[in-house]
Amino acid sequence: MSSSTYPRRRSTHVIPNHFLLLLGIPRLLTLASQPSQYAHRVHLALDEVKAEYVTHNIDLQAKPAWFLEKINPEGTIPALSYGPKCAPDDPSPEAAAIPESLVILEFLADLFPNGGILPPNDPVARARARLLVAHFESVFTVAFKSAFYEGKSPQLVLDALLEFQARLPKDGFALGAWGMVEMSAAPFLVRTWMLLEHDFGHYPVGEGTKAWEALSKEDKFTRVRKYVEDMKAYPTFRGSWDEVRKLSVRS
Ligand SMILES: N[C@@H](CCC(=O)N[C@@H](CS)C(=O)NCC(=O)O)C(=O)O
C-alpha cells in the first residue's frame, strides 16, 4: 500500500490528488503529495522562510517517467529540484534534485540561514534540534507507520509520544522558537490526533478512539497535548492545515 494513503474504515476519506510543488530563487522545485506528512514538513519550511514556490500535481499511483528519470529514481516524494526556471515536468539538467524531507529541511536551512529553521550561529542549539529530530524520526515515525499502516496497536504511538514528550522543555517549542523540530514533528502529531479520533488505521476497530480518549484525558499526556495545541496555533502551521477538508467524509 502506498504510504501516502490513509487506511480507511467504515467511511472513505476524500483525499486530494498528489502533487508536486516548486519553489523559486533561482528555482526550487519540490515534488510532494498533499496527504503526505513528509511533504507537509517541506511546505512548513518553505512557508516559514517565505520562499516563492509553485506546486505541481503528481500521482503516486502513476508516477510520470520524467519524475523517476530526472527527479527521484526512488520514486518517493517529497523531492526538491533547485535550479534554473523551467517547466515543472521538464526540470533543467543543471538543477539539483534533492529527495528526503529532512534533507530538504537542512538544505532550506542552508539556503535561508536566518529563515527560522535552525538557529543561526548557535552550534549547540542546532545540535539539540537535530538530535530531537533524529529521535522523532527513529522512534515516533516508526510507531506511526506500524499503527496506521501495518495494523499494530496504537499503544505503540502513545508510548512513542511519551518518549518524545520527555525530551521537550516544560513549555513552549523544543528550542523556544518554532523551528526544525516542529516542522518535522507537527505533520505527524496532528495526523495522529485526527486519525485516532476517527479510528482510521488498520488496527482493530475501536482501538484508535480508545487511544484518542487516553491522549485527550490522561494527565500523563498533558505536556504533549499542549505542545500540539501550540503547534496548531502557530501561524505557518495554521495556514497549512485544513482538518475539515482532510476529513471530508462520504458514506
Ligand atoms: N523518508 C522519506 C519518506 C517519504 C515517503 O515515504 N513518501 C511517500 C509518500 S508519504 C512516498 O513517496 N511513497 C512512495 C509511493 O507511494 O510510491 C522522506 O522523509 O521524505
Q: Which residues line ligand 1 (CB under 6 A)?
A: 2-4, 33, 36, 38, 60, 75-78, 100-102
Q: pTM for the complete prediction?
A: 0.88
pLDDT band at 246 (very low <50, low <70, confident <90, very high): low
User: pLDDT tens digits, residue range 19-69?
Assistant: 344 444 445 555 555 568 998 999 899 889 988 777 676 788 888 898 899
* C-alpha 108 – ligand 1 centre gap (Å): 19
State residue 245's pLDDT score: 63
The reply to whether 100 falls in a domain is yes
Please tell me whether residues 106 and 151 are part of one structural domain. Answer: no
Please tell me whether residues 129 and 103 are part of one structural domain. Answer: no
Q: What is the CATH number of the domain that holds 219?
A: 1.20.1050
**Enclosing domain of residue 70:** 12-111
Please tell me whether residues 140 and 207 are part of one structural domain. Answer: yes
Please tell me whether residues 177 and 106 are part of one structural domain. Answer: no
Please tell me whether residues 88 and 188 are part of one structural domain. Answer: no
Please tell me whether residues 69 and 95 are part of one structural domain. Answer: yes
pLDDT band at 92 (very low <50, low <70, confident <90, very high): confident
Please tell me whether residues 41 and 143 are part of one structural domain. Answer: no
Looking at the structure of the chain, the number of domains it has is 2
Please tell me whether residues 78 and 145 are part of one structural domain. Answer: no
Please tell me whether residues 147 and 197 are part of one structural domain. Answer: yes
The reply to whether 3 falls in a domain is no
DSSP the chain: --TTS---BSBEE--PPEEEEEEETTEEEEEEETT-HHHHHHHHHHHHTT--EEEE---TTS--HHIIIII-TT--S-EEEESS---TTS--TTSEEEESHHHHHHHHHHHSTTSSSS-TT-HHHHHHHHHHHHHIIIIIHHHHHHHHHH---THHHHHHHHHHHTTS-SSSBTBBB--HHHHHHHHHHHHHHHHHHTT-SSSPTTHHHHHHHHHHH-GGGHHHHHHHHHHHHSHHHHTT--HHHHT-EE-
Domain end position, chosen among 66, 82, 111: 111
Please tell me whether residues 130 and 232 are part of one structural domain. Answer: yes
The reply to whether 65 falls in a domain is yes
pLDDT band at 250 (very low <50, low <70, confident <90, very high): very low
Please tell me whether residues 138 and 178 are part of one structural domain. Answer: yes
User: pLDDT tens digits, residue range 113-152?
Assistant: 999 999 999 999 999 999 999 999 999 999 999 999 999 9
The reply to whether 170 falls in a domain is yes
Q: Which of 40, 67, 77, 149 has the most ligand 1 atoms within 8 A of CB, as the residue to mutate? A: 77
